[in-house]
Amino acid sequence: MTRYAAGVLEFADAHGWKIIAVLAVVGALPPLFGLEGGFYMTVATLTLMFGVLALSWDLIGGQTGYPSFGQMGFFGLGAYTTAILVKDQAVAFPVAFLVAGVLATLAAGVVGLIVLRLRGGYFAIATLGILLVAQQVSRNLEVTGGSSGKILLDVPPATTFYYVLLGLLVAEVAVVYYLTGTRFGYVLNAIRDDEGKATSMGVNTTYYKTAAWMLAALFTGLAGGSWSLFNTFVDPNTAYNLSWNVEMIAMALLGGTGTVAGPVLGAFGLHLTIVFIQSVSLDVTLPLLGPTTINFAGWQLVLLGLVVIVTVVSYPQGFVGELRERASAMEYYRHAGGAAGQETSHDETASPDGGERT
């Protein structure tokens, strides 16, 4: 395992753009080969959506160090925007979709003025509170259909949303991957590591963190905007889904916060696991009870909580972070105790545009 970690990372660092392009093409194939609807289509589409959500969360939570517990607020805003526009105002989906993104970004700008002044626990709980307030507001308003929500029947086919979400994910991966190599990305990481120092170096941290926060909200809002029509139903409990709120954090954490591949891998892995657990039922013969059917549906949140706890306690760096750690340990070993990268006795490890960006 350890031996391959370094190789995998080296390859990923050197061929980042090519990997993104190849995966985008591979991702576009399934609908062309007959997958046009049904259970597997839903699973695939939602998996892509969770990739978007986890990466959005990581942009503000992992890269910038502002752990938002309220990202689903922007998701719900986007979901309601397209639902209301398409159903009640007869706006075409593409227009409504863009409006959802714009509204979510603007909302993030306004909310950010207040909450981005807070740090750590204060920030986390303030964002959680805003999410709950948004949920309550949507429950009380007329235009959102109150607590019974909205049923959307006249919607584009499922493959549309598959491609929309695939496009969103690819775009977001590309944007985040590009940003991690720019000054913008470095400033975000500097804010995470020590905001006070970054400020004293003359960086306008408010500008950078607000931009990251709005960018994360843009992608979250767009994801929500496509989800509501895909789901053909939207109500306060599903649009501002509190368990998805946790899921996206767990996904980013599991894959590795502050990385590009980590949150996406975490999203794919965890969502598929959850789907598997929800759908599986075991027929077993227990010693005392006799033949029993064990059904795991309803237990996925218990699993989710346990995943969060175990990951935080044992692997706080997540999968990619762990991989990186092992790779650099291997490097250390190869250089007979010298710091990794000090001597270049083997092939050039650094990627052409420099640095660890996986």
Which residues are near another protein by CB under 8 A?
61, 65, 67, 69, 114-115, 117-122, 124-126, 128-130, 132-133, 136-137, 139-140, 242-243, 246, 249, 253, 298-299, 301-302, 304-309, 312-313, 316
CA distance 201 to 101: 33
Nearest Cα to Cα of residue 37 among 165, 162, 168? 162
Residue (22 or 306) nearer to another protein, CB: 306
Q: Using alpha carbons only, what angle is made at residue 216 by residues 215 and 221, rounded to the nearest 5 degrees?
A: 100
Reduced DSSP (H G I as helix, E B as strand, rest coil) percent helix, strand, coil of the chain, to 5: 70, 5, 25
Q: Which is nearer to another protein, 114 or 350 (CB)?
A: 114
* Residue nearer to another protein on the CB measure, 196 or 354: 196
Tokens of 90: 């007869």
Neighbour tally for 171: CB within 10 Å: 14
**How far apart are CB 308 and another protein at their closest, in Å?**
3
- Smaller CB distance to another protein: residue 61 or 101? 61
- Of 171 and 242, the one with the shorter C-beta distance to another protein is 242
Q: What is the DSSP string of 299-353?
A: -HHHHHHHHHHHHHHH-TTHHHHHHHHHHHHHHHHHTTTSPTTS---SS--S-TT
